[in-house]
Amino acid sequence: MEFTHLGRTGLKVSRLCLGTMNFGPLTSEADSHAIMDAGHDKGINFFDTANGYGGEGHRGRTEEIVGRWFAQGGGRRERTVLATKVYGDMGNDWPNSGKLSALSIRRNLDASLKRLQTDYVDLYQFHHVDRDTPWDEIWQALEVAVAQGKVLYVGSSNFAGWHISQAQAAAEKRNFLGLVSEQSKYSLLTRAIELEVIPAAEHYGLGIIPWSPLAGGLLGGVLRKENEGKRRQQADAIERHRSQLEQFEKLAAELGHEPGDIALAWILAQRAVTAPIIGPRTMEQLDAAERALSVKLDEEALAKLDEIFPGHKTAPEDYAW
């Protein structure tokens, strides 16, 4: 396993981040525990979850599954850089159960720690920007959490570039470290963050943690699976991108690798990327993700991928002079 620093911090994390969103809704607890153990065996030390994961009506269940895995001991917690999130309404139909008010952060952090059966979170992430809460209030709440030892680092998710700038400016005034990472939707098919989010992350020293790096499975060889008679999902998206996907899967075959391996290898080669989130439902999917680490794309291959899936220049040069 390869390791790198998370943004500008001294914290070392694996180049693959194990996402847990499927644990509970699609993957049984026993299989989830086995996948996490296998992740450790492969050297993956970076795990991502969220307080809202678990399925409709079962928010928090995924954190509980992770917590019961930690409770088995054997160094599971100590070997894990644990990331979770706060923002979403936890479904109790009562005010202040979500978003980023100081009250919400305090209550939701304590609830996550209880479910996770741990006394601290390595990376506490804002799952979305809260336009109703001032940054001074948000940072004051996190300063308290850091002082209490409940949170070590803070990250964002689904922020625009200017949200990162706004957050960092407010943190700097308070002599606070601020954000160290941004978790964004990023893949060969979804490259909008190249306009402003990645430049902002580079400027402020944030590590990019891409989610959905296989574009919901579209980059995992979906056309070949379709031809093999396997159940077809995302039919509309496949038809919209069929020409690109045909070229992509042909290129992957020419390069001698699985399409999903190429897609992950590409994202690992992008600037500012710390670790893409892989969200395996099965052990086989975990094994497949690991293969991408051994795939090295040369300049010619990267150029061909850019031809198939055009990206963006930094704004404003992308659309102006």
Cβ atoms within 10 A of the Cβ of 64, count?
18
Strands 46-48 and 81-86: parallel
Strands 17-19 and 207-211: unpaired
Strands 17-19 and 12-14: unpaired
Select which of 53, 124, 186, 204 is catalytic: 53
Place of tokens 């659309």: 319
d(CA 36, CA 69): 8
Q: Is residue 53 annotated as a catalytic residue, yes or no?
A: yes
Q: Which residues pair with 179 in a beta bridge?
A: 154
Q: List helix spans (H) across the chain.
A: 29-41, 61-70, 102-116, 135-147, 161-173, 197-204, 222-227, 235-240, 242-255, 259-268, 283-291, 299-308
Q: At what angle do helices 61-70 and 29-41 cross, to 10 degrees?
A: 50
Is the peptide bond prior to 316 cis by the omega test (within 30 degrees of 0)? Answer: yes
CA distances from 66 to 20, 57, 287 (A): 8, 18, 20
Burial class (CB in 10 A: 0-12, 13-18, 19+), 319: exposed
Which of the residues are catalytic?
53
